[in-house]
Each structure stands twice: as structure tokens, then as C-alpha cells.
A = this chain, B = another copy of it.
Amino acid sequence: MSRQEQAARTRESIIDAAAEVFDTHGYQGAGLALILEQAGVTRGALYFHFASKEDLARELIEAQYRTVNQWAEDGVEGLQALINLTFTIARDLVADVRVRAGVRLALEQATFSAPVPNVYQSWIDAARAMLVEAKRRGELVRGVSVDDAARFVVGAFTGVQLASEVLTARQDIQERVADLWHFVLPALASSPQSMKYRQRRRAARAGSRT
């Protein structure tokens, strides 16, 4: 392994360790010593890659933006793309500790220190772009504001996944996201019945078992 490959591998293992520790202890509770122990690296190695705990947290939060953009490009467009995205995030919240840590850190920023509106805003922007396309295709109820709808769906999704975490440690997250669409589609979709969300729930669940 080249020195460069070794460095890249160390960097990934630090991010994984930080994700585990942030996910378990939150930002305030996550000590750098615990991250070092979990990663099995020296303090020097960590500081070679990251300037601080904040820097590590930022990396995990920013990875969320990048993923949102990837998720958005899976061939499906419009309202169904937004529906699919919520189930994919729900699945990854269960399956991927980096996603879980990123969302937790984003919410911690929201609730605990100086909020960073960009995290939220980038989620809203991604939702809005899909709703604009949905509107162009005639998939939305006439007169719906794509701004209001994007902001509402992102806010509601945030709360629904948080409630699922509190009440069932996210075991019922797929059902709760299906409920979200059940309760929102009649106000949003010109043809709610043509949207797939109960099926999608099963598909996302199956995916999370692999």
C-alpha cells in the first residue's frame, strides 16, 4: 500500500470512528480521546487529517449534502423522486452510521449551538427542485406553492424520523415515512393514487436487510 493509500485509509477510519462516537454521545459528549480510541490512531494522525472536533463534525454534515445530490440522480423524477428520497434517507438512517451521525449533528447544530441554516436549506432546495419538476409534469394539485411544500416536507420528515427515533429507536421509520405521504399526498398530488409509497416502504425495507 502506498503512503497515500495508507493516509486515505486512515482518514476513512477516523471518519467512521467519529461517526460512531457522535451517533452515540452527540456532539457535546463526544470526546476526542474516545474518537482516537475507536479509530485506533494517534492524536497526531487525527490532526494530520482534521483540524478539530468541529472539523470532523463538519465533514459528516457536509457529506449529507453530497449524498442528497447523488440520491437525487437515480432516473426517477418529479414527485416520485422526492417520495423515494425520503425512504432512502430513512433506510440509510438505520443502516449507515455516517448518515445517522450527520443528521444528528445537523440537528444538534439546529437545537444547541449557532444554527447553520445551510444544512436545512440544501435539503429544502433539493426537495424544491423535485417539486418544480413535479409541477411541470402536472403531478401537483393546482395552486400548490413549491416553496411551502418543500419546506413543509423537509420539516415534517425531520420531525417524523426524530419521533421514530425517540419512540422505537427508528424501528418503525419506514412505516412512519409512509404515513407522512399518506397524510400529505391528498393536498399535494393531483393523482395521489398513482404515487408509490406503501410499496416503496417494502422495497426500502428489503434493501436495508441486505
Report which A residues bind B (CB closer than 8 A).
25-26, 28-29, 104, 107-113, 115-117, 119-121, 148-149, 151-152, 154-160, 162-167, 176, 179-180, 182-188
Chain B residue, CB-CB nearest to A112? B26
Chain B residue, CB-CB nearest to A175? B148
Report 22 cross-chain contacts, Cβ distance below 8 Å, ordered by A residue.
A25-B112, A28-B29, A28-B112, A29-B113, A107-B111, A110-B162, A110-B166, A111-B165, A115-B166, A119-B166, A120-B163, A121-B167, A148-B179, A151-B167, A152-B160, A152-B176, A152-B183, A154-B163, A156-B160, A156-B183, A158-B163, A162-B162
Asked whether A108 and B112 contact (CB < 8 A) given A152-B180, A159-B159, the answer is yes
**Is B110 touching A165 in the complex (CB atoms < 8 A)?**
yes
CA distance A154 to B166 in the complex (A): 12
**Is A26 touching B111 in the complex (CB atoms < 8 A)?**
yes
By secondary structure, the A interface counts as: helix
Chain B residue, CB-CB nearest to A192? B187
Chain B residue, CB-CB nearest to A184? B183
Asked whether A158 and B162 contact (CB < 8 A) given A167-B120, A184-B183, A185-B187, the answer is yes
CA distance A97 to B187 in the complex (A): 34
**Is A155 touching B152 in the complex (CB atoms < 8 A)?**
no
CA distance A164 to B162 in the complex (A): 16
CA distance A157 to B163 in the complex (A): 10
